[in-house]
Amino acid sequence: MKFIPYVCCGDPNLEFTEKLVETLSEHADIIELGIPFSDPIADGKTIQQAAARALKNGVTVEKIFEMVKRLRIKLKTPFVFMTYYNIVYSYGKEKFLNKMKELEVQGLIIPDLPFGEDPEFEKIAKEKEISIINLIAMNTPKERARKILEKEGMFTYLVSVSGVTGARSEIDGKSLEFVKRIREIGPQNKLCVGFGISNAENANKFVNAGAEGVIVGSMIVEMYSKGKTPEEYIEEIKKFSQGFKKTNKN
């Protein structure tokens, strides 16, 4: 299975984020770098609080770019940015994509930019060989899902719950049926499931239902936010990420 961990950049500081990304890169197929935004509508309490801490501590887009530049000297792991459209628009759409190209960040997830809403932006991204990673939700109509799958880049992000992000201990059967349904539409597509995955056992259920990989975010944030210094949890996070690579499709 593909393991795609999410990291909220700057929580609690960029020095820790850098160390965390290096640790996760040993087992990650792709790393999702979250650029904090003040109104993260797709995120639940855990990542909302992480974003708020990062912004309070002075993280900026430029500081995140500088961190990625340092990481790129050491790591070849594929990166994707996850942020909101206001961040990209305010920075300058083409300027943002140019910076991604320079930093070798291969993909971009923007939850509040619906598929097909900004064709000019999608065109520029394609010209720069940057993958816009689109989301399919449980209530996405079949024909719209098909069109999204036809434009697939690095992978297609399946939102496994009707709600926001957040670690969940159990998986609803409807979520598994959703993955199976999308797999039938696109047998060759690279489907990765996010929202609510908290352990390798549940991740494997999604893989058995037809997913190629999983995105895990809130659980990682929870692990280093338990009261001690975040650095004390690096080894625990390392073992956690190893578990996903030991889990294979049955």
Both tokens of 234, joined, read 């690096």
Is 249 a member of any domain?
Answer: no
Given pLDDT bands bounded at 50, 70 and 90, which one contains residue 242?
very high
Q: Give me the percent of the chain exceeding a pLDDT of 70.
A: 94
- The pLDDT of residue 123 is above 50: yes
- In sequence order, the 6+-apart residues with CB closer than 8 A to the CB of 142 are 185
- The pLDDT of residue 198 is above 90: no
Domain range enclosing 219: 2-236
CA angle 145, 93, 18 (to 5 degrees): 90
Res 196: pLDDT:
79
Res 31: pLDDT:
98
Q: What's 59's DSSP letter?
A: -
The per-residue pLDDT for range 167-190, each reduced to its tens digit, is 454 687 899 999 999 999 999 999
Res 231: pLDDT:
85
Is 248 a member of any domain?
Answer: no
| Contact in structure between 127 and 163 (CB atoms under 8 Å) | no
Number of structural domains, the chain? Answer: 1
Q: Is 43 a residue of the active site?
A: yes
Token pair 């887009």 is found at 61
Given pLDDT bands bounded at 50, 70 and 90, which one contains residue 226?
confident
Is 246 a member of any domain?
Answer: no
Q: Lowest mean pLDDT: which of 110-114, 127-131, 178-182, 232-236?
A: 232-236
CA angle 182, 188, 193 (to 5 degrees): 45
Res 246: pLDDT:
64
Q: Angle formed by the axes of helices 61-74 and 93-103, to 10°? A: 20
Q: How far apart are CA 207 and CA 183, in angstroms?
A: 11
Is 190 a member of any domain?
Answer: yes
Catalytic pick among 29, 43, 118, 122? 43
Is 173 a member of any domain?
Answer: yes
The per-residue pLDDT for range 67-98, each reduced to its tens digit, is 999 999 999 999 999 999 999 999 999 999 99
- The pLDDT of residue 165 is above 90: no
- The pLDDT of residue 144 is above 90: yes
Distance of CA 165 to the CA centre of its chain: 11
Distance of CA 185 to the CA centre of its chain: 23
Is 196 a member of any domain?
Answer: yes
Given pLDDT bands bounded at 50, 70 and 90, which one contains residue 162?
low
The type of residue at 220 is: I
Spell out the SS3 assignment of 109-161.
ECCCCCCCCCHHHHHHHHHCCCEECCEECCCCCHHHHHHHHHCCCCCEEEECC
- In sequence order, the 6+-apart residues with CB closer than 8 A to the CB of 2 are 29, 30, 155, 192, 212, 213, 214
Structure-model confidence comparison of residues 170 and 37, the more confident one: 37
Res 172: pLDDT:
79
Q: Give me the percent of the chain exceeding a pLDDT of 90.
A: 83
Distance of CA 58 to the CA centre of its chain: 22
Q: How far apart are CA 58 and CA 89, in angstroms?
A: 20
- The pLDDT of residue 161 is above 80: no
Beta pairing class for 135-136 and 213-216: unpaired
Catalytic pick among 32, 118, 122, 212? 32
Res 40: pLDDT:
78
Both tokens of 132, joined, read 């816009």
Is 250 a member of any domain?
Answer: no
pTM: 0.93
Is 64 a member of any domain?
Answer: yes
Say how many CA atoms lie within 13 Å of 34 toward its Cβ: 33
- CATH number, domain of 102, equals 3.20.20.70
The type of residue at 22 is: E
For residue 158, report the phi and psi dihedrals to the nearest 5 degrees: -95, 120
